[in-house]
Amino acid sequence: MTAQEQLPLTKIDASNRLRKVLPARAEALAEDFDQRGLLTPIEVVGPLEGGGYRLVYGAHRLAAVKLLGWDSIPAAVHAPDTFADEAQERLREIRENLMRFELNALERAVAIAAWRDIYEAANGQVKPGRKAKKAAEGNSANIAELQPAGDLDDQSAKFALYFSDAAQVAFGLSGRAIYLALKVATIPQEIRDRIADSALAENQSELLKLADQSPDRQAQIVGMILAEPPLAGTVNEAIAVLDKTPAPQKTGAWEKLSDTFSRLKKTEQHRFFEAHREAVELWLAERG
């Protein structure tokens, strides 16, 4: 039997967890709970011998309310005999983590764009020009002063300031990430619906290439990729067919790595060399 109760934090044992509580996530959740409240209770087993409760899942939520200084938290309470043994109790935690469907690249983009629209409806759209100053807490100091109509760069940068530093880190909501999401979300819903259950929806790089095309070309590109059998494997291949140009050569794994490496800071490049010292030394030795 499961009942919901408001439990004192001091009575909840959250030790021996499968997942480590990440400070940035806990901080971001704390900020959200402070503004909007906790929507989903944690889950515990108890009362145990001595009157305490053992956490089944919800460690980040528990850590967040501790940061806020709350004395108690809403909890779904399972009776001690709910689970046959400790393994079954642990399986409950595993299933909760594994069966939570994460947003794919397309769903995430659409969600961020919708959030931006709701935000702008309440606060005004972004206007190009002077950048908003960032408050000490990491939020925009003048969000209410945002005014109508702005390009995607301004919208992204200033909407990102709506989120604290902790939220930007924990949920990947930097100005750059928001810019890419808003660009993907420009793909018309009709096209999004067609690719929602395809590999395209998982690949942000391909979605961005698709977003660069006109709606008519997007429809043709998607049609080629989703055809049975496929007439093109990637957006670039489909574009080559449409434009009657040679198909682009596939980028090798080493070329992708090289491109990423070239954009690293010097200290990060040195760390890479250190991590692959043996391979580097072998390559140098072979060259004499």
184, 204, 232: which is the final residue of a domain?
184
Whether the pTM exceeds 0.75: the reply is no
The answer to whether residues 91 and 52 belong to one domain is: yes
Highest mean pLDDT among 9-23, 116-130, 216-230, 271-285: 216-230
Q: Which domain holds residue 172?
A: 105-184
**3-17, 96-110, 201-215: least confident range:** 96-110
Same domain, 25 and 79: yes
- Residue 63 placed within a domain: yes
8 Å CB contact between 163 and 27 = no
Same domain, 89 and 9: yes
Specify the pLDDT at position 143.
Answer: 29
Our count of domains for the chain comes to: 4
pLDDT, residue 90, reads 80
Same domain, 236 and 200: yes
Give the domain CATH number at 33.
3.90.1530.10
Q: Give pLDDT, residue 142.
A: 32
pLDDT at 140 over 70: no
> Do 156 and 209 belong together in one domain?
no
Which of 68, 98, 128 terminates a domain? The answer is: 98
Do 63 and 135 lie in a common domain? no
Q: Answer yes or no: is pLDDT of 148 > 60.
A: no
